[in-house]
Chain A
Amino acid sequence: MSREEEFVKKLEERFGRRVRDPRIQRARRIFVEIDGKDLREVLTYVKNELGFDHISAITGLDVGEDIELIYHVAYENSIELSIKTKVSKKDPRIDTVADIYDPAGIYEREVHDLLGVVFEGNPDLSPLLLPDDWPSGVYPLRKDKSFEELRELVEKSGVSGK
């Protein structure tokens, strides 16, 4: 059994059907899906019990009704486990994991800026990438705003990038 298969087996033993669609895409790449309410429990487990001690990034995607979040965590800088979950676009909220993985704090700020997801418990969700005077409620990486609209917005509203 490969290390990847072992990790999937352990996740299934521990969380049963709460871990959905585990997929080993290729060597060193695992993808799984979970519910947002299980996020902290799963991440705590993979960090403390399985040794995934590094968070590479948090990816956010606009998938229509929902925002999909992918937490990419790494085992010995080798195996990347991507844990996917969804939050409703109407009320995009999820618990912070910055107390589990320190660097997650800054990655949550990035997703908060660009997709408007609120990470409850994150002490600092101030703008990281967008200008201080960026209009509220405009999230550049959501699909309802085209690249052209965003450019117009920047030019018209006098968003100065300061």
Chain B
Amino acid sequence: MVKIVVGPQHPALKEPERFLLETEGEYVKNVRVRIGYIHRGIEKAMENRTYIQNLYLAERICGICSDAHTTCYVQAVEELLGVEPPPRAKFIRVITAELERIHSHMLWLGVAAHEIGFDTLFMYVWRDREIVMDLLELISGNRVNYAMNTIGGVRRDLNSEHVDKILKGLNVLEARTKEYIKMIEKEPSVLKRTVDVGILSKADAIKYGAVGPTARASGVKRDVRADDPYAAYDETPFNVITSDGCDCFARIIVRAEEILESINITREALKKLPDGEIKIRVKPRIPPAEALSRVEAPRGELMHYARSNGTDKPERYKVRTPTLANIPALCKMLVGGYIADVPIVLAGIDPCFACMDRVLIVDHEKKKSEVWDLEKLRRYGREWYSKR
């Protein structure tokens, strides 16, 4: 029996994890998980800052889906206050969220391609992702950490020039995404590395609490935008994309098709965008109350819980990110699979980067240990597959 430690990951990427893999031959027999390598104590820090200051902290919980976190945050605080943002603000929240989902899913698609050694696709996707990054910069002024949300609405309005440019950009993205889907469905190097890899059955997806595209790729039709609508999602109907594949291939297809769905939602929101104010003024002090806020982040169900105590600072603020929710399901997927499939299966839940920075191989028979980096594990995977 050989024990392999995967991770902890590079601290520059968020949510690093360490997986201790117990292996027999080429098979993974058991997985133990340890996270927290960049635990920053944000929940504690939020108790010491005002609700407005906490907007900036919430923005920085995640570098990829920062808008999902601020949306969840402002919704929680608005519920504590008992206020509703103006309709136009709700639509702008939807537009920003969907542009963010497009960028996040494209980023992931590139990473997944890289993990299986298909770097051509990686380059294409990341080139085209620049289109949506430019759109986000256009409307928010920032490529990341958009700072669009504020308590009681949004900080920036959209003008007709923005709308035109977004619509043009979406047309290009739509054509490109359709092209990728065609390419992925036929490309043998993708199919060989992802079909029947990292299996998570529908029953297990529910049992282990999987969320987001990970759950939907196992046939679980759940999406907070549809099931627990917030912002203006009840006015921008969309299809919840699912697949019965239950493998890494299904996770690729679900996310790729979700990009198309996000494009449709954004178009619909731009078409219905109501006139009017984009924010309301709110009081800094919040009477004792509690609120549970949920958002469908690009990676799945994001949950914030807030409790106020009458001051301008929260009594307690709790954040549960989708990656944490997907870890029990991820462990289930890894067990019984090949060591060579670990990178793509890890990447399959989109744990923001799935970057295994350091891999410690412990060979109990030879009583020696060796540190592998991600590149070595990746190479091992590719070479192992090329010999089959």
Residues of A within 8 A of B (CB): 25-26, 28-29, 31, 53-57, 59, 61-62, 70, 72, 76-78, 80, 82, 101-103, 105-107, 110, 113-114, 124, 126-131, 140-141, 146-147, 150, 161
Contacts and interface: CB of A to CB of B under 8 A. Distances in A.
Contacts of B98: none
B75 to A, nearest CB: 11
A25 B224 CA distance: 18
Interface residues of B, number: 39
A61 B307 contact: yes
Interface string B228-250: 10000000000000000000000
A55 B45 contact: no
Contacts of A72: 292, 303, 305
Contact of B44 (A70, A76, A128, A141): A141
A72 B223 CA distance: 17
A119 B256 CA distance: 41
Query: Mostly helix, strand, loop or mixed at chain B's interface?
Result: mixed
B316 A59 contact: yes
Given A77-B224, A128-B34, A129-B36, A82 B44 contact: no
B346 to A, nearest CB: 16
B67 to A, nearest CB: 20
A10 B234 CA distance: 29
A10 to B, nearest CB: 20
Interface of A, secondary structure class, is: mixed
Interface of B: 32-37, 39, 41, 43-45, 47-48, 79, 206-209, 222-224, 227-228, 290-292, 294, 301, 303, 305, 307, 315-316, 318, 320, 324-325, 327-328
Contacts of A70: 305
Nearest to B209: A103
Contacts of B301: 56, 77
Contacts of B34: 126-128
Contacts of A103: 208-209, 325, 328
B227 A76 contact: yes
24 contacts: A25-B79, A54-B209, A57-B303, A57-B320, A61-B315, A61-B316, A70-B305, A72-B305, A76-B227, A77-B224, A80-B228, A82-B292, A82-B305, A102-B328, A103-B325, A106-B33, A113-B36, A129-B39, A131-B36, A147-B41, A147-B44, A147-B47, A147-B48, A150-B41
Contacts of A126: 34
